[in-house]
Amino acid sequence: MIDLCSALLQPLAAERLGSAARGGADGLQAHEWFGSTDWDACANMSSPAPSVPLPLDSSDVDALLVELTQRCQQGFD
């Protein structure tokens, strides 16, 4: 996982995994972390999601929006 993050977070765009210089999307899909991913099933949306969060009720959504708004105003300190 650290290898994948490191490859995606390169400061120079040309050196990032997924860039044209590093094989584009094919280079990203070939990374070992995605080894068990069925890309055709993803494209066809025929595989189940790895996890599905429970829906939030309206009071949770309101509280979340207030918190995110406050964080934005504070600069995510």
- Domain limits, the chain: 1-48
Task: Tell me if 8 sits within 8 A of 18, measured CB to CB.
Answer: yes
Q: Assign 76 to helix, strand or coil.
A: coil
Question: What is the predicted pLDDT for the residue at 15?
Answer: 92
In the numeric block, the tokens 């189940």 are attached to 48
Query: Worst-scoring range by mean pLDDT, 4-13, 16-25, 41-50?
Result: 41-50
45-59 confidence digits (pLDDT tens): 898 877 888 887 777
Residue count (the chain)? 77
Residues in Cβ contact with 28 at an 8 Å cutoff, skipping those fewer than 6 apart = 17, 18, 34
Write down the pTM of the prediction. Answer: 0.55
Quickly count: other Cβ atoms within 10 Å of residue 17's Cβ.
Answer: 20
